[in-house]
């Protein structure tokens, strides 16, 4: 089982990926590449990147479909 600190880092990474995908991608990359010796954070770093990219794609699709307003 992961320590509390590791769980908090993973949760914050996922929240960043959902709220702001660009910052989530950056956070996931930082977690993934700086925590190579920690299998829990290394795995979740990859998953955070995947969630952030998925959120980014979903947002773009919803903008082009007209469900959410585009800001550009």
Global confidence as pTM: 0.87
The rounded radius of gyration (Å) of the Cα atoms in the chain is: 14
CA distance 14 to 8: 10
The structure tokens listed for 50 are: 């995947």
SS3 32: helix
- pLDDT beyond 70 at 72: no
Per-residue pLDDT tens digits for 28-52:
999 999 999 999 999 999 999 999 9
Cα separation of 26 and 15, whole Å?
13
CB-based contact 29:21 (threshold 8 Å): no
Give the Cα separation of 54 and 49 in Å (integer).
9
Mean pLDDT of the chain: 92
């Amino acid at each position: 089982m992961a320590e509390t600190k590791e769980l908090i880092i993973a949760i914050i990474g996922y929240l960043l990926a959902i709220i702001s995908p660009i910052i989530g991608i950056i956070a996931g990359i930082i977690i993934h590449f700086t925590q190579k010796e920690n299998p829990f954070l290394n795995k979740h770093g990859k998953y955070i990147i995947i969630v952030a990219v998925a959120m980014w794609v979903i947002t773009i699709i919803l903008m082009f479909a007209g469900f959410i307003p585009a800001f550009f």
